[in-house]
Amino acid sequence: MSRKLIWLAAAAAVLGSATAEAQVTKSPPVDAEQVLRVPSVNYRTEWVQLGTFSVLAEKPQDGAKELHAVYTERKNVEAYLNDGKFPDGAVFVKDLWNAKTEALPTGTASFAGDLIGRFVMVKDAAGKLGSGARFGDGWGWAFFLGNETVKTVTGDYKVDCLSCHEPVRKQDLQFLQGYPILRK
């Protein structure tokens, strides 16, 4: 069995979610450019959480199937609040979690289970951070499976990422409606 087929089978087993599968490419893992790698800092405790998205299960009464939590450094939030733009070099990390749903005393609730993977986006309006197929439209783009921090499965952002972000092109390709900290 080829390495690519083994990788695809492993990715399908890890993901187990139609939403996450749609975001994973058919590209085999390759080393990401340094600027696109998952940051070495503990961004979950040292950075600001911009927002969390809940992706519902096929049957909404089953709760969420995924939770997406987005983080960036405080300086990027301050820059955006000052002038409505993210500065070049601003890094965003979006964790994708399989969701678990339980009946709790407060009602049915979904919470984070296992880590599916992480998206990293880096603002690059000037086009100086990279020039390959993972860069364009003012950003660098990469997705990492599970706990991987170096090897991305993003081959070409136009194929692997842009279709999900196209609906928010007028918002600099960011889902600002899910980031309450950026509301003025």
Please, where are the H alpha helices in the chain? 3-15, 18-23, 43-46, 74-83, 157-160, 162-165
Q: How many domains does the chain have?
A: 1
> What is the spatial order of strands in the sheet that 139-145 belongs to?
48-56, 64-72, 91-104, 107-123, 139-145, 135-136
Residue 121 sits in a domain of what CATH number? 3.50.70.20
- Evaluate if residue 71 carries a pLDDT over 70: yes
* Pairwise pLDDT comparison (2 vs 81), residue with the higher score: 81
Residue 64: the pLDDT is: 96
- Evaluate if residue 6 carries a pLDDT over 90: no
- Evaluate if residue 16 carries a pLDDT over 80: no
**DSSP 8-state code for residue 168:** G
Contacts of 24 (CB under 8 A, 6+ apart): 11, 15, 117, 143, 145, 153
Residue 61: the pLDDT is: 85
Residue 25: the pLDDT is: 61
- Tell me how far apart the alpha carbons of residues 180 and 29 are, in angstroms, rounded to a whole number: 34
Q: Tokens in use for 43?
A: 């961004």
Give the tens place of pLDDT for each residue, 131-171. 999 999 999 999 999 999 999 999 999 999 999 999 999 99
| Averaged pLDDT of the chain | 88
**CB of 7 closer than 8 Å to CB of 126:** no
* Pairwise pLDDT comparison (19 vs 143), residue with the higher score: 143
pTM assigned to the model: 0.86
Residue type (1 letter), 22: A
- Evaluate if residue 28 carries a pLDDT over 70: yes
- Evaluate if residue 50 carries a pLDDT over 90: yes
Residue 18: the pLDDT is: 39
Question: pLDDT tier at 24 (50, 70, 90 boundaries)?
Answer: low
- Evaluate if residue 178 carries a pLDDT over 60: yes
Residues in the chain: 184
**DSSP strand pairing (64-72 vs 107-123):** unpaired
- Evaluate if residue 21 carries a pLDDT over 70: no
Q: Which domain holds residue 37?
A: 3-182
Q: What is the 3-state secondary structure (H, E, C) of 74-103?
A: HHHHHHHHHHCCCCCCCEEEEEEEEEEEEE
Give the tens place of pLDDT for each residue, 96-115. 999 999 999 999 999 999 99
Residue 11: the pLDDT is: 37
